[in-house]
Amino acid sequence: MLRVQTANPTVLSQAVSPSVANEIQQMMEQVTQNPAGTAFATANPSVAGVEIAGKTGTAQNGVNNSGLDDAVFTCFTVNSSRPIAVGVIVKGGGFGADAAAPIAVKVIRAYLKLH
């Protein structure tokens, strides 16, 4: 059974200005909504069922990068009535868009009860 916990957010500090935060969000939206974006195939609105902004990542491992790369995807919903942010790391998963992004999309879809 999926258990979702809700927290009451409080502002600790302002890390960046609102204009910089807006620019970062626009760039993250391009990752999932622009056909040239690294996660377009796995997290675009027609696949996810919701607008997602995200950042893919691939972390190299091992001596001289000889290990399997870790896949990373950090994202959040855009203009959702039930906002959610998700971060996924798949040890040895390869590319973030291939291994981590589909998992994040499934978590978001489950949270929003999209079938």
pLDDT above 90 coverage of the chain, percent: 76
Enter the pTM of the model. Answer: 0.84
From residue 91, give the alpha-carbon distance in Å to each of 4, 50, 77, 98, 102.
Answer: 24, 26, 24, 13, 15
Domain count, the chain: 1
Would you say residue 49 lies in a domain?
Answer: yes
User: Could you tell me the residue range of the domain that residue 39 belongs to?
Assistant: 18-112
Q: What is the mean pLDDT of residues 65-91?
A: 92
Q: 53 lies in a domain? A: yes
Confidence class for position 9, pLDDT limits 50, 70, 90 = confident
The per-residue pLDDT for 68 is 87
Q: What is the pLDDT of residues 25-55, one digit of tens each?
A: 999 999 999 999 999 999 999 999 999 999 9
User: What letter would DSSP give residue 74?
Assistant: E
pLDDT of residue 18: 94
In a domain, 1, yes or no: no
